[in-house]
Amino acid sequence: PASAATPDQPRAGTRQYSADDDHTAVWSRADALKLRQDKTNTAPRVSPDFPVMSDKVWVWDTWPLTRLDTKTATYKGWHVIFSLTAPRTVPFGDRHWYAKIGYFYSRDAKSWKYGGDLFQPGTSFGSREWAGSAALIGDRVHSFYTASGRDNGGVDPNDALQRLAQATGKIHADQNRVWFTGFRDHRIIAEADGKLYQTLEQSQQGPIIYAFRDPFVFRDPRDRKIHLLFEGNTGGTAGTYQCTRRDIGDVPAGHEVPEDAKYYTGNIGLATADGDSMENWKLQPPLLSANCVNQQTERPHLVIRGGKYYLFTISHKFTFAPGLSGWDGLYGFVGPALRSDYRPLNGSALILGNPEEAPTQQYSHYVMPNGLVESFIDTVPTAEGGTRFGGTLARTLMLSLKGDRTRLAGQLDYGFIP
Ligand code: FRU
């Protein structure tokens, strides 16, 4: 029995479940109809004269080396980040088909030195490496990534296969640099099963690129288990999903759900390791679904603070279901446990949206437990009416996180990831 949430006072969820229960929270159309921008949730304009962190590679989705508690880790005084990279000689829009995980290191968490590719050539699965996460345990780095495309598939934008992969290496550092060895034990740890998570085959009739990607590793302090969040789509053939009353929610009278909304089935997936050795992973029902609301809930990640679970994801304007509209940016939910009746933060889930005049200025936001949000610069309008491609880290934004509310609290240096 839910008491109605008002736009001003979203009700924090109270129901809790265990990781392997089959309760999936929803981001409803009613929630998404509340999407509004104001000064607390609109990103400041990215200046077109931003500095570039590498003249060799485009840089986009980025994640820091963390501990299993999701806090950033340093190694012998070095800060380390991992980024999707592609040579700057590749057209910016084609970078996805060339993506490799590169790494950077820094003493001050903002002057980043490019260390090259994380993995040796020919060792990773897929035909390119997409986003992931990396946990430091002792001097071992447990790296998770998306094996995107079939193995050895070459450059093929039409190959949308995605699987979750894992490899373990060792970090090394001296006074001058950071480097890695190992990562010889790549393996595929999860594939879409067609029931909980849509397979590529089932997605063929879908409107937009399909997802089974972006593993984010962490330990839940409650059940002490190691889990992965990832981005998926609801299992079943695209177009067969029927929007439920729960998906639609308490919409204003007269709100019609367009027929094609059923094609939009993004979710935040969960997989759980059988033990601390992370040998086997079991797919669990999604933690949250955006059925009939949004096709993409990318790079899901988690901050646990004051006993509350803050679930973040990034999404695009163009992936909202018909009849809804939002912004490229950061969205989030809060609940009392890892699996719980998450409620959208700020009523609608919008945390930081790009300004109307610069709708694709930045993307792939990642919130750290310290409340800092890193992202990359995408395409920025210039004064002359042109655009400048980024492919480099944006200024880090500061988020204030209080209960069910967030607020943009400030703007820091470019690529500041402490
Ligand atoms: C987000 C994203 C990720 C994916 C990567 C591919 O920017 O779409 O979901 O792993 O970019 O380049």
Tokens standing for residue 372: 């800092």
The phi, psi pair for 245, rounded to 5°, reads: -65, -30
Q: How far does the centroid of ligand 1 lie from the alpha carbon of residue 171, in Å?
A: 25
Exposed, middle or buried by CB within 10 Å (0-12, 13-18, 19+), for 384? exposed
pLDDT, residue 3, reads 38
Q: How far does the centroid of ligand 1 lie from the alpha carbon of residue 207, in Å?
A: 17
Q: How far does the centroid of ligand 1 lie from the alpha carbon of residue 15, in Å?
A: 32
146 lines ligand 1 (CB under 6 A): yes
Cα–Cα distances (Å) from 6 to 289, 309, 340, in that order, read 21, 21, 20
Pairing of strands 178-182, 162-173: antiparallel
Q: How far does the centroid of ligand 1 lie from the alpha carbon of residue 67, in Å?
A: 22
pLDDT, residue 2, reads 37
Compute the CA torsion angle 155, 161, 167, 172 (nearest 10 deg): 40
Single-letter code of the amino acid located at 219: R
34 lines ligand 1 (CB under 6 A): no
pLDDT, residue 208, reads 81
Q: What is the number of the ligand 1 atom nearest to the C-alpha of 60?
A: 7
Instruction: Note down the domain range covering 359.
Output: 28-414
Distance, first Cα to last Cα, the chain? 43
User: For each successive 10 residues of the chain (418 residues), what is the average pLDDT?
Assistant: 40 83 98 96 98 98 98 98 98 98 98 98 97 98 98 94 98 98 98 98 87 98 98 97 97 95 98 97 98 98 96 98 98 97 97 98 98 98 96 98 95 98
Q: How far does the centroid of ligand 1 lie from the alpha carbon of residue 287, in Å?
A: 20
The verdict on pTM exceeding 0.90 is: yes
Q: Whose CA is nearest to atom 9 of ligand 1?
A: 298
Q: How far does the centroid of ligand 1 lie from the alpha carbon of residue 76, in Å?
A: 30
Q: Is there a contact between 40 and 110 (Cβ–Cβ < 8 Å)?
A: no
Which residue, 80, 262, 266, is CA-closest to 180?
A: 80
pLDDT, residue 7, reads 44
Task: With respect to residue 233, please indicate whether it lies within any of the assigned structural domains.
Answer: yes
Helix (H), strand (E) at residue 267: strand 265-273
Residue 355, classed as helix, strand or coil, is coil
pLDDT, residue 9, reads 41
Q: How far does the centroid of ligand 1 lie from the alpha carbon of residue 61, in Å?
A: 6
Choose the catalytic residue: 61, 220, 328, 378.
61
283 lines ligand 1 (CB under 6 A): no
Q: Is there a contact between 363 and 344 (Cβ–Cβ < 8 Å)?
A: no
61 classed as catalytic? yes
Task: With respect to residue 8, please indicate whether it lies within any of the assigned structural domains.
Answer: no
Compute the CA torsion angle 34, 10, 344, 356 (nearest 10 deg): 40
Task: With respect to residue 360, please indicate whether it lies within any of the assigned structural domains.
Answer: yes
Domain count, the chain: 1
364 lines ligand 1 (CB under 6 A): yes
Q: Is there a contact between 299 and 61 (Cβ–Cβ < 8 Å)?
A: yes
Q: Is there a contact between 284 and 18 (Cβ–Cβ < 8 Å)?
A: no
Choose the catalytic residue: 231, 247, 298, 328.
298
CA distance 120 to 180: 10
Which residue, 172, 192, 191, 193, is CA-closest to 181?
A: 172
Q: Whose CA is nearest to atom 1 of ligand 1?
A: 364
pLDDT, residue 206, reads 78
Residue 387, classed as helix, strand or coil, is strand
Single-letter code of the amino acid located at 409: A
61 lines ligand 1 (CB under 6 A): yes
Task: With respect to residue 13, please indicate whether it lies within any of the assigned structural domains.
Answer: no
Task: With respect to residue 330, please indicate whether it lies within any of the assigned structural domains.
Answer: yes
DSSP string of 101-154? EEEEEESSSSSPEEEEESS-TT-SSSSEEEEEEEEEETTEEEEEEEEESSTT--
45 lines ligand 1 (CB under 6 A): no
Q: Is there a contact between 278 and 142 (Cβ–Cβ < 8 Å)?
A: yes
Cα–Cα distances (Å) from 373 to 64, 139, 174, 400, 414, in that order, read 11, 26, 29, 11, 11
Here the contacts of 145-149 (C-beta below 8 Å, separation 24 or greater) are 145/101, 145/215, 146/212, 146/213, 146/214, 146/215, 147/188, 148/96, 148/99, 148/213, 149/97
pLDDT, residue 219, reads 98
Q: What is the number of the ligand 1 atom nearest to the C-alpha of 96?
A: 12
246 lines ligand 1 (CB under 6 A): no
Task: With respect to residue 2, please indicate whether it lies within any of the assigned structural domains.
Answer: no
342 lines ligand 1 (CB under 6 A): no
298 classed as catalytic? yes
299 lines ligand 1 (CB under 6 A): yes
CATH number at residue 71: 2.115.10.20
Task: With respect to residue 18, please indicate whether it lies within any of the assigned structural domains.
Answer: no
Task: With respect to residue 14, please indicate whether it lies within any of the assigned structural domains.
Answer: no
268 lines ligand 1 (CB under 6 A): no
Look at the chain and count its residues: 418
